[in-house]
Chain A
């Protein structure tokens, strides 16, 4: 069966520091991968999605970037964190294919607090 792992679960960082959040998927090949942010009491905002290695699309302009160095690894990064980057970051995967309508499956997220 497929599993998705995210770490760390909780992170407290000072303003201006760098960020690296990692997500890995097991049990599937060539998945579509996604990064979301969920602000308190709000729905999920799609940040990045990827249909393959080094194929990443950004949904909204922001202080963050994403990379996919391996088929089942997705990394969310920032060079300098802002206070507004605080939130709950979720990684998700779905079965691959450009026109797939398969559901997405989420990890348990990273709660990021910027001080």
Chain B
């Protein structure tokens, strides 16, 4: 079983819709989680960084962590065409130096 699993999509939704992106993880140790957004031919850009269970909100983005079910989610409200990108979830694994374990990424398209 992969440490972090993510549905690769692609996911296509109309502009203005609420988007839900999800990941599951298998190892309960070191529970820091991140969401990155990656535009085509660019490096990943940090969107959200969470530690505890519950929700963390930043503008139109909400990250949710459910440690009991080992499930992490990213919600995008009022989605815009500029949100079209690949979204990567990651879990921190700290072993001497901080390491990240990434999901496969979900490719999202917001249609105008």
Contact = CB atoms under 8 A, between A and B. Distances in A.
* A and B: bona fide binding partners: yes
B98 A111 contact: no
Given A46-B100, A90-B44, A109-B42, A103 B94 contact: no
Interface in B76-112: 88, 92, 94, 96-100, 102-105
Contacts of B98: 32, 94, 99-102, 104
A108 B104 CA distance: 18
Interface residues of B, number: 27
Interface of B: 4, 6, 8, 30, 32, 34, 36, 41-46, 49, 51, 88, 92, 94, 96-100, 102-105
25 contacts: A32-B97, A32-B98, A42-B104, A42-B105, A43-B6, A43-B103, A43-B105, A44-B44, A44-B88, A44-B100, A44-B102, A46-B99, A49-B97, A90-B44, A98-B96, A99-B94, A99-B96, A101-B98, A103-B34, A103-B46, A104-B98, A106-B36, A106-B44, A108-B42, A109-B41
Interface of A: 6, 32, 41-44, 46, 49-51, 57, 90, 92, 94, 98-109, 111
